[in-house]
Amino acid sequence: MIWIPPYHGSQLARRSGLDDGWGWIPTDKYCRHEKWSNVYAVGDINRSALPKLGHIAMLQAKVAVHALWAAMHHKSAQPFTPFVLHVIWTGHGRGLFTLSDILYGGKRDWVYFGAPASLAKTAFNASYRFFSGWMPIMP
């Protein structure tokens, strides 16, 4: 069984008037606010029905920055295309690696269970500590 605690939106977003009434910022497929085109929201504060993962926030940030640049230069931007990527330890030297976009209209749904996934998680955590949190993994 997997239990996910309830998420609560930002009180700051509520006080700002930018939220949807629940503390989440409503955005379009470019992470741009639905009402104010000069406001972008990425990560946990974004109202999208996606897992609140750092990987998702990084993808949203890339889309938002490119959309802002495109708007400033009268170009077209690429919309946000979500996918879930995560690795977890499961114990006894094994792990679970997941890469999937199937819930978002894609065709990838890859899951691997075993020792290599555990090693990948160990390597990621060691790199995170070594680089003090700065991870050059955003494409």
Q: What phi and psi, each to the nearest 5 degrees, are found at residue 125? A: -65, -40
Q: What share of the chain has pLDDT > 90, as a percent?
A: 68
pLDDT in tens, 68-112: 999 999 999 999 998 888 899 999 999 999 999 988 889 999 999
In single-letter form, the type of residue at position 103 comes to: L
pLDDT of residue 3 exceeding 80: no
**Residue bearing tokens 């239990």:** 3
Tokens of 77: 């931007």
pLDDT for 133 equals 75
Q: How far is CA 83 from CA 13, 69, 113, in A?
A: 26, 23, 19
| Distance of alpha carbon 83 from alpha carbon 102, whole angstroms | 8
